[in-house]
A and B are shown apart, each in its own frame.
Chain A
Amino acid sequence: MPKEKSDFAVVIPAYNEAERIGKVLQEAQKYASLIIVVDDGSTDQTAKVAQKFKVKVLRHQINLGKGAALKTGCEAAFGMGAKIVVAMDSDGQHKPEDIPRFIKTLKEKKVDLVLGSRNPSVGMTLIRILGNKIDSFLIARFFGIYVTDPICGFRAFTKKAYQKLAWESPGYAVETEMVAKAGLEKLSFVEIPIETLYTDKYKGVSILDAYKVLFDVFKWRFLK
């Protein structure tokens, strides 16, 4: 665990990840001094497992969704004095060793946002690749921002960017909304390639979620 108090926090929203979150936190501790886990109303032992580590554990009494959990975590992180937040998933698909790369890129490139970009040829199903491409295309068309992987949950942003992003999506649309808002607010960003490990095909964004996200894209563009 880093001895110095850093200016960033890692926010990990978690829902029913008791089996995997321990390993994620064990690794993440090596790279961050402030880690905030938001247990989003899990029905398993996610919060208890997280409490075994030197991390701050917040718990939603009911399941609100990834977007809401991420927002709670960010509010807590910035409220505790962090200047940057790194958001990552709790299911072990993101490598905590990439955290310093996000921070370094954010600081060196002086951008508002650093977005992780997964390699579509590793572990992604064809339908997900297609969904991701459609999402990228629509966001580029409607919000003037092109990113290769708009639904990747591994990203870092500054406090200033967070205040401008101000997402409302409580669920899995949060990542797409962040990118759309980044486009609308003309926030600066870079993408960095990340490695992912897919451990469970039943978790994460389902096909139905993906269609809801596509509907949301139209909603943000035409109904707001």
Chain B
Amino acid sequence: MLPQQQIFSLIAGFAIFLLIVSLIRARKLREEYSWIWLLTGAIIFIIVIWYKLLIFITNLVGATLPTSALFILAILFLILINIFLSVKISQMSEQIKNLTQELTLLKGPKRKKKYAKRKK
């Protein structure tokens, strides 16, 4: 790996780390999601420092160049992240739907006691 590539990758990894820490501190990113991005930064860091690992991964996935292996890993990672976030969005949409309906019914007409009890 060229020194310029190493420096650029290290800066990118460090920038991701700083961004995540600042987002957590500003409470814009919940801690339960932050670990994914901290792990991403750490992986970038490890690959830059330990180039042999990248060569090993390149051979493992059957890629001809280390850059191709990196692209494959990056695309796979982004696909997994998208699936994970889609699942989270689906769960939250369902929760929002249920909450909205419950709120509407609570604000709405009085329900018969027997029915309200049964629903609980």
Contact check, B115 vs A68: say whether CB atoms are below 8 A apart.
no
Contact of B100 with A61 in the complex, beta carbons under 8 Å: yes
Q: A78-B115, A79-B115, A170-B97 are contacts. A38–B109 as well, Cβ < 8 Å?
A: no
Contacts of A36 in B (CB 8 A): 109
Q: Chain B residues near A62 (CB, 8 Å)? A: 96, 100
- Encoded as 1 (CB less than 8 Å from any A CB) or 0, chain B from 88 to 110 comes to 00000000110011011101111
CB distance from A102 to the nearest CB of B (A): 22
Q: Which residues of A contact B116 (CB under 8 A)?
A: 79
Contacting residues, chain A, for B104 (C-beta < 8 A): 38, 58-61, 72
User: In chain A, what residue has the closest Cβ to B112?
Assistant: A81
Interface size on B (CB < 8 Å)? 16
Whole-angstrom CA separation of A175 from B100 in the bound complex: 21
B112 touches A76 (CB 8 A): no
Residues of chain B lying within 8 A (CB to CB) of residue A56: 108-109
- In the complex, whether B52 has a CB less than 8 A from a CB of chain A is no
| Contact-residue bracket for chain A | 10 to 19
CB-defined contacts of B109 to chain A, threshold 8 Å: 36, 56, 58, 76, 79-80
Docked pose: A56 CA to B101 CA in angstroms:
15
> Does A64 count as interface, using CB distance less than 8 angstroms?
yes
In the complex, the chain B residue whose C-beta lies closest to that of A81 is B112
**B105 A76 Cβ-Cβ under 8 A:** yes
Q: Complex formed: what's the CA distance from A38 to B105 in Å?
A: 10
Closest residue of chain A to B111 (Cβ to Cβ) is: A79
Question: When each residue 158-186 of chain A gets 1 if its CB lies under 8 Å from chain B and 0 otherwise, what string results?
Answer: 00000000000010000000000000000
CB-contacts of B46-80 with A (<8 A): none
Q: Report yes or no: B105 in contact with A58, Cβ–Cβ below 8 A.
A: yes
Chain A residues with CB under 8 A of B97:
64, 68, 170
What residues of chain B lie closer than 8 Å to A75, measured between beta carbons? 101, 105, 119
Residues of A within 8 A of B (CB): 36, 38, 56, 58-62, 64, 68, 71-72, 75-76, 78-81, 170
Q: Which residues of B contact A (CB under 8 A)?
A: 96-97, 100-101, 103-105, 107-112, 115-116, 119
* Other contacts beyond A60-B101, A79-B112: 5, CB < 8 A: A58-B109, A71-B101, A79-B109, A79-B119, A81-B115
